[in-house]
Each structure stands twice: as structure tokens, then as C-alpha cells.
Amino acid sequence: MNPAISFPKLTLVELRKMVDTRAGFWLQLAAALLTFAVVILFCIFGETDDMILRDMFGLAMLPASILLPIIGILLVSSEWSQRTALITFTLVPQRMRVMSAKIAAGLVLGAVVLAIAFVLAVVAIVAVDGAWTMGPTVFLQICIVLLTAMLSGIAFGAAFLNSAVAVVMYFALPLAFGIAGAIPFMDSVADWVDTTRTTTPLTEGVANATEWAQFWVSMCVWLVAPLAVGLYRITRGEIRAG
């Protein structure tokens, strides 16, 4: 371990890596612009008579919930596609420490996005004279949905260590399970695995015990399992130059 590099500094380095690449920079810019555009366009053209803060916050989070996981994927997989893994792990030989910093950086970025989206939602509610309906429990649930989405992206990036493959698998595999849920005998399984089904209750109201259980089971499938595979690959795998 390089004692000169503290964990906060290592996390800051990982945050900077998110914008150092063209893909990371444009993805974050696109997420910001789309968030502003979605909120503004809805305020202008949408039906705002019954709009409440919870729904506006969820709407503001929509672009980020799609694009942030891709940033998480690139944060990990770009070490291999850009062939910088050897340099990174030479400077900081403890690979788990590097991965912990990447996870921390992902959570920091997610928290920043949550703050921006919430401010936009508040401004939009003021602009359309909407209702301030959103309890602290629902707010925390929406935050958890976004942060776990970001961590799922990091997990897929670690599991596949290839940007293109990880991005495709991140969207294709859950989609396949969602489609399979249309088959009658798979419907009950999809209630526990399809992330669209398991995350929706958390954004619409206070989730009950069953809904929380379904959410965390789906996270075990799409977050914990790929992250475990990825951490094993990264900590045990051979790092080659070039």
C-alpha cells in the first residue's frame, strides 16, 4: 500500500476518472441536460394540476437512473479497456482498496445527482404550484433506488471488465427476465427478480415488508452476485501491460 495516498484522496482520483474520459464526460453532461429538459418540458407541456413533489422528484431522477449505471460500468471497465489497470494497481497494490474507492466515488456522484434532482423538483413544484406530498421514508426509498442502480453498474463493470459487454448485459439481462415474467409460470419469479417490478413500489409510496424483501432479493441477483464475481476476478486475476 502506498501510505501517501489516503482513502479520501483515492476516492477523489476515482471521481476525476469519471470525467477524464470523453465517454464519462458526455454521459454526465447528457444526464444533467436531460434532467433539466425533462423537468422543464413537463412543467410547460405536462398535466401539472395534480403534480406532487414525490412524482416530480421521481421524474427528475429518471435520466440519471438510466445513465449513471453506465458511468459506474465505465469507471471500472475502463481500467482494462484503457489499459491503465497496471498503473493503478502498481501505485495502490491493494486492489480491494481501489475498488472500495470506486464504490465510494460512485456513491458520492449519486448523492450529488440526488441533491440536484431534488432542488430541481422543489423549484418545479413551486413553478406549477404543486403539492408538497413526499414523506421522508419515500424520499429515502427513491435515494436507495438510484444509489443501488449506480452500484449495480459498478458491479457489472467489475464482473465483465469490458465496457461494451457490461453495458449490453446490464440492460439485456434484466430486460430478458422482465419479458420472461410475461410467461405465466415465470410471473411469480419475476416479482422477485425483475427490477422494474421490485423498484416501482419504492418510488410510489411507503414499501411494505414484502416489497422490501422483493427489492433486496433482486439486488442480490443484479448487484451482490455480479459484484462478488467482479471482486474475485479483480483481486485474483493477472494484470497485464498493454
| Predicted structure pTM score | 0.90
Alpha-carbon distance of 235 to 42, in angstroms, equals 46
Identify the weakest region by mean pLDDT among 51-60, 164-173, 205-214. Answer: 51-60
Question: Using one digit for the tens of pLDDT, what is the confidence trace for 96-132?
Answer: 999 999 999 999 999 999 999 999 999 999 888 888 8
Helix axes 136-160, 225-236, angle to 10 degrees: 40
Look up residue 147 and give its three cell numbers. Answer: 444509489
Domain boundaries, the chain: 7-236
Predicted pLDDT of residue 1: 45
Predicted pLDDT of residue 158: 93
Closest CA to 133 of 117, 122, 123: 122
Question: Using one digit for the tens of pLDDT, what is the confidence trace for 36-51?
Answer: 999 888 888 877 777 8
Residue 24 has pLDDT above 50, yes or no: yes
Asked if 157 contacts 169 with a C-beta cutoff of 8 angstroms, the reply is no
Predicted pLDDT of residue 242: 47
Mean pLDDT of 135-158: 94
Look up residue 122 and give its three cell numbers. Answer: 422543489
Closest CA to 74 of 8, 131, 26: 26
Enumerate helices (H) and strands (E) in the chain, giving the number of each.
Answer: 11, 0
Beta bridge partners of 131: 52
Asked if 130 contacts 121 with a C-beta cutoff of 8 angstroms, the reply is no
Mean pLDDT of 142-147: 94
Mean pLDDT of 165-179: 90
Alpha-carbon distance of 130 to 133, in angstroms, equals 9
Region of residue 161 (phi > 0: left; psi between -120 and 50: alpha; otherwise: beta):
left
Kindly report the CA angle at 146 between 118 and 5, in degrees rounded to 5? Answer: 100
